[in-house]
Every structure is written in structure tokens, then in C-alpha cells.
């Protein structure tokens, strides 16, 4: 019963935060501090990030955007400092990854691309503090760049696909 009431409270809170802006939940992540980060994408190009404790109490929230030509796309939390990595994609096919501290304060960012024929798809972590920036093509190929915690490229995967009957 407590989960249902917490969920209802979260829905009401989302409605109050966005008021006239429609939003959709994208993803969430749990930091090394045990707190959950939620990512809400506004249809107007904004992003609302929430940090919740283990009882789903709100600890912090922030809204970024909109920024002309950029759309919020993906969120992960990695590392012992519980930094949050937020990816934005540009209409030109480039990606900007922001590093936010544990309370969503902007620390730094780096831009990647555009890479001809490739589009940024998402982010992942490897358990060692590195980030994977995943790219895809319209021909259903994918590859990932390995970034260290400071957003420097330190490696890349081979190109995978396309595979008959499967799409990325």
C-alpha cells in the first residue's frame, strides 16, 4: 500500500512540477549513495531530474533546458562520487554529455561528433567508472566509445551489425 501511495504522490508531484508541460519518464539510476535518480523529459525540450532516498522522499530536483537544437536523451549515475551523466543530442547528430554532482549541480561537459552516418543512442557504465557512449546507424549498426569519468575517449568497440531480422 505504501508503494501505491508513494507512486501516486510522485505522479501528483510531476504534474505540479511540469504544470502545462507534458513530460515522460525516461529512465532512472541508483548511485553509490543508494539514492535513486529519475529522469523526466519535457515535450518542450526540458529535462527534470529528481533524487529520491530509499523511502522515495525527494532530496533534490532540478530542471535544465530547453536549449535550441538540443534534446535531453539519457541519464546514468556512476562512480563512487555518485556523479550523474546526462546526454543531450543535437539536430546535427552530435552528443553533449554533462557531468552533474550528486545534487545535480553542473560540473562540466564534453561534446562528441557529429560522426557522418552515425547518431548517439545512449549511455552505459562498466562498473569501473567508465562510460559507454553508444552510437547507431540507420543501417542497424552499432558501436560504443569508452570514456573515462572525465569524458575523455579511451577506447572503442568494433562495429556490430547489421543482423538480419534485428534492429537497433
Q: What is the pLDDT of residue 167?
A: 82
Domain layout of the chain by residue ranges: 2-156
Q: How many CA atoms lie within 13 A of 117 on its CB side?
A: 6
Cβ contacts of residue 4 below 8 Å, gap of 6+?
none
pLDDT at 36 over 50: yes
Tens of pLDDT, residues 124-137? 888 788 999 999 99
Tens of pLDDT, residues 80-99? 678 889 999 999 999 999 99
Q: What's the rounded mean pLDDT across residues 37-54?
A: 92
Strand order in the sheet with 119-125: 119-125, 131-136, 142-147, 153-156
The verdict on domain 2-156 having CATH code 2.120.10.10 is yes
Lowest mean pLDDT across 19-33, 39-53, 70-84? 19-33
Amino acid at each position: 500500500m505504501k508503494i501505491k501511495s508513494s507512486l501516486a504522490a510522485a505522479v501528483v508531484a510531476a504534474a505540479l512540477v511540469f504544470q502545462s508541460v507534458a513530460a515522460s519518464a525516461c529512465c532512472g539510476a541508483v548511485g553509490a549513495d543508494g539514492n535513486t535518480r529519475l529522469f523526466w523529459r519535457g515535450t518542450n525540450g526540458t529535462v527534470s531530474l529528481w533524487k529520491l532516498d530509499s523511502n522515495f522522499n525527494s532530496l533534490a530536483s532540478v530542471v535544465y533546458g530547453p536549449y535550441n537544437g538540443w534534446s535531453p536523451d539519457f541519464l546514468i549515475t556512476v562512480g563512487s562520487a555518485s556523479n550523474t551523466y546526462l546526454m543531450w543530442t543535437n539536430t546535427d547528430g552530435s552528443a553533449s554529455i554533462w557531468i552533474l554532482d550528486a545534487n545535480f549541480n553542473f560540473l562540466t561537459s564534453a561534446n562528441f561528433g557529429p560522426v557522418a552516418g552515425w547518431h548517439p543512442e545512449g549511455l552505459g557504465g562498466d562498473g569501473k567508472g567508465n562510460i559507454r557512449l553508444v552510437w547507431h546507424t540507420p543501417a542497424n549498426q552499432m558501436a560504443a566509445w569508452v570514456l573515462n569519468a572525465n569524458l575523455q575517449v579511451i577506447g572503442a568497440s568494433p562495429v556490430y551489425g547489421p543482423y538480419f531480422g534485428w534492429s537497433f
